[in-house]
């Protein structure tokens, strides 16, 4: 598989909103519909579809807060999990962030119970920085390449 990124827009919004995490993961991330509503209200967010060919398989939302670049959301639809797409998507998104915002640290947050995501992010150079976000999630940072 070879993933690509497409901006979320009116043409693909319904397909992206249909993406769902696997059972048991619902508490780890907002639904795509919730993310898109948040992006509609705050222009700094860039919602992105992750595609395998013409098939949407995942969703991400990125943005820059004052001084910090965030990979705020990343999900792979439950039907496509277990195929290495999370790692492939993460590499693709890190390259996208570098192209869009320049070199520098990238931040994300997650619940400590989400051990699969924690392991994935650590494998790709993210480290816990001892902080929590406004929702109590653990903050991770990946320093610039």
Cβ neighbours of residue 94 under 8 Å, at least 6 residues apart?
Answer: 71, 106, 124, 142
- Rounded-to-integer distance, Cα 4 and Cα 53, Å: 8
Please report, for residues 22, 42, 89, 113, the alpha-carbon distance to residue 46 in angstroms, rounded to integers and kept in the order given.
24, 9, 15, 26
Identified catalytic residue from 51, 80, 107, 121: 121
Residue tagged 């993210």 (tokens): 126
* Catalytic residue list contains 121: yes
Cβ neighbours of residue 26 under 8 Å, at least 6 residues apart?
Answer: none
- Give the residue numbers annotated as catalytic, written as ranges: 121
């Amino acid at each position: 598989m070879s993933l690509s990124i497409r901006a979320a827009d009116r043409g693909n919004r319904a397909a992206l909103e249909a993406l769902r995490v696997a059972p048991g993961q619902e508490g780890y991330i907002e639904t795509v519909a919730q993310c898109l509503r948040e992006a509609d209200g705050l222009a700094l967010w860039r919602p992105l579809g992750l595609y395998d060919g013409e098939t949407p398989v995942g969703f991400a939302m990125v943005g820059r807060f004052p001084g910090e670049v965030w990979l705020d959301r990343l999900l792979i639809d439950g039907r496509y999990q277990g195929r290495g797409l999370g790692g492939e998507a993460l590499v693709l998104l890190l390259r996208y962030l570098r192209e869009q915002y320049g070199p520098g640290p990238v931040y994300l947050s997650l619940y400590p119970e989400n051990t699969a995501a924690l392991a994935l992010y650590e494998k790709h150079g993210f480290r816990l920085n001892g902080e929590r976000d406004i929702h109590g999630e653990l903050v991770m940072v990946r320093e610039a390449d």
